[in-house]
Amino acid sequence: MIVGVCRIELYLHDNHSIKGKRQVLRKIKDRIKHQFNVSIAEVDYNDKWQRASLGVAIVSNDHHHAYQALEKVVTQIDRMYVAEIVDYHIELL
C-alpha cells in the first residue's frame, strides 16, 4: 500500500476576508474531491485571509500512479485561476 501526500501553499490575491477565503477553498476542494477521488483539507494559515495551505492524500498500490495523481491535482488547482500556487511538496510513504 502506497500513501501519497501533497502539501500545497496558496496565495489568494483578490481576497479581503476569511469568508471570501472559505468560498475559494470550498470551490477548490469540491472540484478536486469530485474529479480525483482524493482527500483534501485546509491544514494551515486558518486565520490568514490571503494565505492557505491544503493537504491532499491518496492511497494506491503503485508509486507511479500516486505521484501522477497528485501532480494532476496540483496542475488542476493551478488551471482554476482562483489562487496562486506558491509552493507544493509531494511525498510518498
DSSP-derived 3-state class of residue 79: helix
Tell me, what's the pLDDT at 62?
A: 92
At 14, the pLDDT band (50, 70, 90 cuts) reads confident
Find residue 90's DSSP bridge partners.
6
Tell me, what's the pLDDT at 85?
A: 96
pLDDT digit string, tens, across residues 33-78: 999 999 999 999 888 889 999 999 999 999 999 999 999 999 999 9
The 10 Å Cβ neighbour count of residue 13 is 8
Which residue type, as a one-letter code, is found at position 14?
D
2-92: in CATH 3.30.70.1120: yes
Identify the burial level of 72 via C-beta atoms within 10 angstroms of its C-beta, where 0-12 means exposed, 13-18 middle and 19 or more buried.
middle
